[in-house]
Amino acid sequence: MKVKPEVVSPAGNLASLKAAIDSGADAVYLGFNDSTNARNFEGLNFTPAEIADGIRYVRSRDRKFYVAINTFPQGDAFHKWYKAVDAAVELGADAVIIANLGVLRYARERHPDAALHLSTQASSSNYESINFYRKHFGIKRVVLPRVLTVDEMKRLKEMTDAEIEVFALGGLCINIEGRCYLSSYVTGASTNTEGACSPSRFVRFNPGTDGGMSIELNGVTLNRLGKGESSPYPTCCKGRYVTPAGGYEYAFEDPESLNVLKILPGLMDAGVSALKIEGRQRTKSYVAAMTKVLREAVDACSADGRGYAVRPEWAGKTVATFEGTRETLGPYITK
């Protein structure tokens, strides 16, 4: 084992932040309640004033917090992103997570000593790209998009001295992260600029006559569920559509979640510096449960890599909280 990776947990609000820290997170990642971060959902995130309580809690337990400023400014609105960078640095963030080149340039020139992490929204998935960001913007870490195998991660790490962070538990994005236009196509609201995929103001859950339910996004039917069928996230990629062959199926992605516990030794051997839990939009109970599971798994694998095995209680907790109660390794392994 080369390193013991950080456990990085989502904090969509103060309650989730505290739950993550109490459950063993080494760091939390969060964002301001505006379009500068890619989880800009109604009722989530922090104002600069609200974040003060969270920072005190993090610091009192000697943990870290990262601020995500990982959407893409448009036209003359870039000053809003610059101010967000300034606010994050002034608050003492241990790192600022950024995707856009212009925002990265501003952050490095304005705050030369700030730790910068390259967001998964930048879709940087090869060492040439990562080394470009390392050379020109001094990034410390890159959050890899969820499209690489573990072997590819290992080869990539051999070619760069940037830290690598990967998603470990939670939602699996099968599109090119930071380049997906599905939500924008259906609603006119871009995930990459507004910060929310399938904003709730466009979502409708309509009861069916058979006890089921239909899910609509801006008038477009994404799914029709039978009685007792679990509901996937109301996003275009999780929609069930009529296919050219005449079937009715999940054409893009099945409703399931990423779970790397089985391949944790391989990820650690590959030199992964941090394991991230997806889900700033999820409940504090989800954050607490997933953080505790990943904390215990990382500690167990670090202590005894050869004897490491997924404990039944971990498997039970993850599946119980996952979308569709199904798990996958996605592209992390090849068949």
Question: DSSP labels for 221-262?
Answer: EEEEE-TTPPPPPSSGGG-EEE-TTS-EEESS--S-EEE-GG
Could you say which DSSP state residue 322 is in? S
Please report, for the chain, the start and end positions of each structural domain, with discontinuous segments joined by +: 6-172+256-332, 182-250
Tens digit of pLDDT for each residue in 161-191? 999 999 999 988 776 787 888 888 999 988 8
More confident residue, 96 or 321: 96
H helix or E strand, kind and range, residue 90: helix 78-90
For residues 151-157, average pLDDT? 96
Q: Judging by beta carbons within 10 Å of its beta carbon (0-12, 13-18, 19+), is residue 43 exposed, middle or buried? A: exposed
| 198 φ/ψ sector (left φ>0, alpha ψ -120 to 50, else beta) | left
Tens digit of pLDDT for each residue in 207-253? 988 888 999 999 999 999 888 887 788 889 889 988 888 888 888 88
The CATH fold assigned to 6-172+256-332 is: TIM Barrel (3.20.20)
Does the pLDDT value for residue 204 go beyond 90?
yes
Rounded to whole angstroms, the Cα distance separating 204 from 220 reads: 10
Per-residue pLDDT at 176: 74
Does the pLDDT value for residue 197 go beyond 90?
no
For residues 285-304, average pLDDT? 97
Determine phi and psi for 282, rounding to 5 degrees.
-90, 170
